[in-house]
């Protein structure tokens, strides 16, 4: 007799056999530069805690105070009885930081990306999307009835071809991650904006891996690329540099945000962000705005790590973003990267290996993520652990 249990057991085994099983390590500490897991103490080089705000004392204090003042839950969507002054202030603070007219909060950036396209782009419109965009953009775009076009990652010739193909559409939007999270590469926003202007298209950037720390003032890839006033819509997360709890947003023209409040399904049919999270995120943004020292520390740590690893003969993808992929190319690369990551944990350094299908075949890597919370000694320890693990696994110095 058919049972779903047997059927799924077979599927689960296939995932294990293919080496694609994602096991979860339980942390027994807060999310910090130094963490403990049930098995080890380690320096953490795989969180999105770029500015070290996930466990910042002021963020914790703001969240605890909010728990007392505003309670634990909202038990409502925003438009029924789920909007507190905190939510309005958080939206205003994001608009002000990112220099946009208005902002709408979602429970996550996954929801923001899931809720934005269907409302703004329908039949007769065109959405042109980078091939390496985040899964949530891909899913959100699928929900829209607009025609869909895809261009090869950051390939401006291909983007032009797709813009040509989309001509005649009522509204056209180019959609890109600000930073591609497996490579740490920034999208070429200046060229994207040039093409958008030439073809009368809008630009939407998901800046989840940039907001708070990329750009001199931490305003993300539009700032870093000098196109703050040429990007139409920005989506982003509160779940990485900006406190790392949860929540996402769309920020842009007031009319866009007003329409999203009326029609965007993940906003209309999902609970309001919890007060504790709203208050902690507000504080995190306040800190991030003034975090020139934190951004400088992050840049220092990143360039020191890149220099020391290059000196030690590792193969890194080029760049300046704190996402630093250490490459293990070739047929055996996936196994090598996984084993090296395991051995590094024994040396007190927590990193994660990524292989196909998360990254292209033959391009396995360990993705190191630096944080402003790392000390210089933490970074040196990480490099030493890489060298020791390479020698143990590959027998090379």
Cβ-in-10-Å burial (0-12, 13-18, 19+) of 395 comes to: exposed
- 181 part of the active site: yes
Q: Which residue has the tokens 């056999």?
A: 17
User: Applying CB under 6 A, does 183 fall inside the site for ligand PLP?
Assistant: no
Q: Which is nearer to ligand PLP, 208 or 301 (CB)?
A: 208
Q: Which of 109, 175, 189, 309 binds ligand PLP (CB under 6 A)?
A: 109
Residues in contact with ligand PLP, total (CB under 6 A)?
14
User: Applying CB under 6 A, does 78 fall inside the site for ligand PLP?
Assistant: no
User: Applying CB under 6 A, does 136 fall inside the site for ligand PLP?
Assistant: yes
- 283 part of the active site: no
Is the peptide bond prior to 357 cis by the omega test (within 30 degrees of 0)? yes
Q: Which residues, at least 6 apart from 391, have a Cβ–Cβ distance to it below 8 Å?
A: 397
Q: Which stretch binds ligand PLP (CB under 6 A): 54-62, 105-113, 302-310, 316-324?
A: 105-113
Q: Which of 248, 280, 294, 325 binds ligand PLP (CB under 6 A)?
A: 248
How far apart CA 170 and CA 179 sit, in angstroms, is 28
Q: Which of 95, 103, 108, 221 binds ligand PLP (CB under 6 A)?
A: 108
φ and ψ at residue 163, rounded to 5 degrees: -65, -40
Per-residue string for binding with ligand PLP, 190-219, x by CB under 6 A?
Answer: ----------------x-xx----------
User: Applying CB under 6 A, does 369 fall inside the site for ligand PLP?
Assistant: no
Q: How far is CA 338 from the centre of its chain?
A: 22
Tokens of 336: 């090598």
Q: Which residue has the tokens 């438009």?
A: 79
Q: How many CB atoms within 10 Å of residue 358?
A: 14
Tokens of 276: 């504790």
User: Applying CB under 6 A, does 237 fall inside the site for ligand PLP?
Assistant: yes
Smallest distance, ligand PLP to C-beta of residue 293, A: 25
Residues shown for the chain: 397
Catalytic residue among 56, 240, 283, 347: 240
Catalytic residue among 134, 209, 283, 347: 209
How far apart CA 210 and CA 263 sit, in angstroms, is 28
Residues in contact with ligand PLP by CB under 6 A are: 108-110, 113, 134, 136, 177, 181, 206, 208-209, 237, 239, 248
Catalytic residues: 181, 209, 240
């Amino acid at each position: 007799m058919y049972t779903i249990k047997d059927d799924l057991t077979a599927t689960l085994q296939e995932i294990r056999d293919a080496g694609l099983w994602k096991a979860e390590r339980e942390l027994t500490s807060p999310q910090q530069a130094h963490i403990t897991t049930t098995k080890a103490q380690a320096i953490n080089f795989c969180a999105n805690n770029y500015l070290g705000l996930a466990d910042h004392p002021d963020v914790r204090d703001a969240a605890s105070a909010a728990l007392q003042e505003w309670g634990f839950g909202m038990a409502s969507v925003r438009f029924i009885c789920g909007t507190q002054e905190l939510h309005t202030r958080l939206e205003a603070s994001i608009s002000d930081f990112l220099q946009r007219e208005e902002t709408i909060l979602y429970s996550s950036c996954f929801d923001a990306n899931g809720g934005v396209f269907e409302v703004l782009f329908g039949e007769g419109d065109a959405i042109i999307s980078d091939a390496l965009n985040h899964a949530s953009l891909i899913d959100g775009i699928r929900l829209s009835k607009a025609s869909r076009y895809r261009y090869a990652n950051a390939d401006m010739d291909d983007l032009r071809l797709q813009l040509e193909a989309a001509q005649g559409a009522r509204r056209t939007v180019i959609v890109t991650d600000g930073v591609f999270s497996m490579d740490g590469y920034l999208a070429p926003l200046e060229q994207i904006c040039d093409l958008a202007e030439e073809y009368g298209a809008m630009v939407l950037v998901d800046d989840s891996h940039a907001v708070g720390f990329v750009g001199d003032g931490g305003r993300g890839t539009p700032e870093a690329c000098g196109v703050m006033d040429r990007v139409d819509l920005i989506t982003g997360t509160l779940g990485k540099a900006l406190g790392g709890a949860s929540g996402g947003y769309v920020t842009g023209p007031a009319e866009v945000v007003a329409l999203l409040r009326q029609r965007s399904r993940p906003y209309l049919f999902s609970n309001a962000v919890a007060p504790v999270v709203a208050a902690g995120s507000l504080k995190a943004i306040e800190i991030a705005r003034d975090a020139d020292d934190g951004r400088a520390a992050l840049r220092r740590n990143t360039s020191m790590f890149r220099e020391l690893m290059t000196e030690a003969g590792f193969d890194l993808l080029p760049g300046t973003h704190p996402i630093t992929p250490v490459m293990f190319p070739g047929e055996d690369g996936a196994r090598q990267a996984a084993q090296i990551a395991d051995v590094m944990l024994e040396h007190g350094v927590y990193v994660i290996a990524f292989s196909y299908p998360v990254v292209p075949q033959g391009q396995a890597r360990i993705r190191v993520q630096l944080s402003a919370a790392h000390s210089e000694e933490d970074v040196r320890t990480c490099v030493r652990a890489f060298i020791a693990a390479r020698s143990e696994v590959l027998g090379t110095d």
